[in-house]
Amino acid sequence: MPAEERSWWGWGTTDGELSKEESDALVARTSGVLPGHDFTDHPPPDPADLDLPAPRIRPPATLAALCGDGPVDRLSHARGKAFRDVVRNLLGRLDHVPDLVARPRTEQDVVDLLDWCTASGTPLIPYGGGSSVVGGVEPRFDGPAVSMDLAGLGEVLEVDTVSRAARIQAGIFGPALEDRLRPLGLTLRHFPQSFAHSTLGGWLATRAGGHFATLATHIDDLTESLRVVTPAGISESRRLPGSGAGPSPDRLFLGSEGTLGVITEAWMRLQDRPVWQVTASVAFERQENAVAATRAIAQSGLYPSNCRLLDPAEAFINAGASVGGGLLLVAFESADHPVDTWLDRALELTAGHGGVVKARRSKNSTGQDSASAWRSSFLRMPYQRDALARRSLIVETFETACTWDGFPEFHDAVTSAARAAIDAVCGGAGVITCRFSHVYPDGPAPYYGIYAAGRWGSTVAQWDEIKAAVSEAIAVHGGTITHHHAVGRDHRPWYDRQRPDPFAAAITAAKSALDPAGILNPGVLIG
């Protein structure tokens, strides 16, 4: 997508921003929940008014054509799109801005840029769509930095329709990829919330979570092989449907977040485009029944494509539904066979736990229900977040995963920590929501939302306190600091506690072998 359409300060594209009417309606709805809050709008500054320091480095002449240092370009690559990133943009805080934005057009350009950065000891941050919500692309360190924007490597190079796989360059964005596959009847079917604004390489480097609520929940599971440029050479794994030949090479690079190399290509497993889709929404009066029903489905071997349990607050805010204990959105899809039998059994399981079916529909049927309302809302959420962030609200999410047996206590601990932090830093004015974004036979991936009343100029610090409190609760009660948002710089302290020490030693040694100058995304995961 042309760079000029992308918002330098907020989510996605400038076209996507809320209209005045939408903003007014959102403010009206929100003020009902947070009465007394000051909803004054704080629009973004003009980048020209920001006192951006001059670049501290220059590329060698051979690479100059690949490198830009325009102020908006540098600003738009300075950080990701977390709440704390957007608010710092709104405040005109510069913090850490890369000196150059490099745009390789070929893999050899990537090699050359890495060689230059290695020789000169210049930190380099691989940048896909820049939708990180964990500080993954921010040069949060002293000294110069190069942001390497991989959007120039955006082609589908080869499609194997028999094995249903494609060799794809890492810089391709979600919509462009699906546009290329659609005429072939194929799809990657990886739809993170950031789908339009993130790249295959970003998904792979961060172990992104996608469309499927069960089975292939992460991009990892859709990966057949990887090609990665490291300072020590190019690593290319073999296209294999399965292997048992030593530890998986791909699993080392999946989740390496730009610290071990730059992913340039991948063979990805594709799906036939679904023909049959059925979905239902099921209401529960009691939360424990909703959780038990969801667990029953997760353990049934039915493998729904969607199995999203919304708590009452989430159901009310984002699906327009009033429920006492929770609203379960469950869906099945197939390119091969009707899936009504699958949904029938899932609904038998929910009925056994007191669930009441509110709606059931098939693909191409018209009409609105809670599931479609929630889906529309889902893609608009980050834009709404930006509109509220401009009005001094703290609107952010965090996510994790835990086992089913531990969930009730875990959930109490996390929400209590969030509540206590909101009380302490926001005077109590706030709402906490929870949904399960993905479910496994052995546990759910809870996804939490926070809506709290902040004070303009302080909302980043307020959020950081809330985030630290919930992260501590997650760490203490055995969850993961991230199920699919990645570690980045924001999660680092808790990641270090979660990661076994010998594994830390092993991966640090692996990094030294692959990136001896330590130029790749310093501060993330390692070092």
| Binding to its own copies in span 127-166, by CB under 8 A | 160, 162-165
Q: Is 234 annotated as a binding residue?
A: no
Pick one of 481, 489, 490, 519: the residue that binds its own copies (CB under 8 A): 481
Q: Which is nearer to its own copies, 313 or 504 (CB)?
A: 504
Residue 116 or 440 with smaller CB distance to its own copies: 440
CB of 157 to its own copies, least distance (A): 15
Give the three-state DSSP class for 453: strand
**Between residue 431 and residue 470, which ones bind its own copies under the rule CB under 8 A?**
438, 440-445
Candidates 2-10, 182-190, 409-417, 511-519: pick the segment binding its own copies (CB under 8 A): 511-519
Nearer to its own copies, 67 or 252 (CB): 252
Question: What pairing do the DSSP bridges indicate for beta strands 100-102 and 146-149?
Answer: parallel
512: contact with its own copies by CB under 8 A: yes
Q: Give residues 289-328 in contact with its own copies (rule: CB under 8 A).
A: 295, 299-303
The closest of 313, 223, 236 to 270, measured between CA atoms, is: 223
What is the spatial distance between Cα 480 and Cα 486, in angstroms, rounded to a whole number?
Answer: 10
Give SS3 for 107: helix
| Number of CB atoms found within 10 A of residue 46's CB | 8
Q: In whole angstroms, how close is the CB of 183 to its own copies at the nearest point?
A: 19
Where does this chain touch its own copies (CB under 8 A) — which range of 142-150, 182-190, 228-236, 350-358?
A: 228-236
The yes-or-no answer on residue 448 being catalytic is: no
DSSP string, 145-193: -EEEEGGG---EEEEETTTTEEEEETT-BHHHHHHHHGGGTEE-----T
Query: Is-contact 213 439, C-beta < 8 A?
Result: yes
Q: Which is nearer to its own copies, 123 or 446 (CB)?
A: 446
Ligand-binding annotation for 214, yes or no, is: no
How near is the Cβ of 401 to its own copies at its closest, in Å? 5
Q: Tell me the closest approach of the beta carbon of residue 17 to its own copies, in angstroms.
A: 29
By CB under 8 A, residue 238 contacts its own copies: yes
DSSP per position, 231-276 = TTEEEE----S---SSS-HHHHHTT-TTSS-EEEEEEEE-EEPP-E
Q: Does 336 bind its own copies (CB under 8 A)?
A: yes
Is residue 408 within 8 A of residue 266, CB to CB? The reply is: no
What is residue 64's DSSP assignment? Answer: G
Contact, 66 vs 110, CB < 8 A? Answer: no
Count, residues near its own copies per rule CB under 8 A: 98
Query: Among residues 325 and 479, whose Cβ is nearest to its own copies?
Result: 479
Instruction: Confirm whether residue 258 is marked as ligand binding.
Output: yes
DSSP structural state of residue 315: H
CB of 450 to its own copies, least distance (A): 20
Residues 189-208 that bind its own copies (CB under 8 A): 206-208
Q: Out of 447, 448, 451, 495, which one is annotated catalytic?
A: 447
Residue 115 to residue 231: CA distance in whole angstroms:
7
Based on the shown chain and the rule CB under 8 A, indicate whether residue 235 belongs to the binding site for its own copies. Answer: yes
* Nearer residue to its own copies within complex by CB, 79 or 438: 438
- Tell me: is residue 138 an annotated ligand-binding position: no
Distance CA(400)–CA(411), nearest Å, equals: 10
> Which residue from 102, 200, 254, 278 is in contact with its own copies, where contact means CB under 8 A?
254
Site for its own copies in 347-386 (CB under 8 A): 349
Q: What is the Cα 458 distance to its own chain's centre? A: 25
Tokens coding 520: 């790749």
Q: How far is CA 439 from CA 68, 70, 330, 484, 499, in A?
A: 43, 44, 11, 13, 22
Give the closest residue to 203 by CA, choosing from 255, 134, 149.
Answer: 255
Least distance between its own copies and beta carbon 250 (Å): 9
By CB under 8 A, is residue 474 in contact with its own copies?
no
34 binds its own copies (CB under 8 A): no
Interface with its own copies (CB under 8 A), residue from 48, 54, 61, 245: 245
DSSP state of 45: P
Which positions make up the binding site? 126-132, 257-263, 385
Binding residues for substrate: 385
Show which residues are catalytic: 447
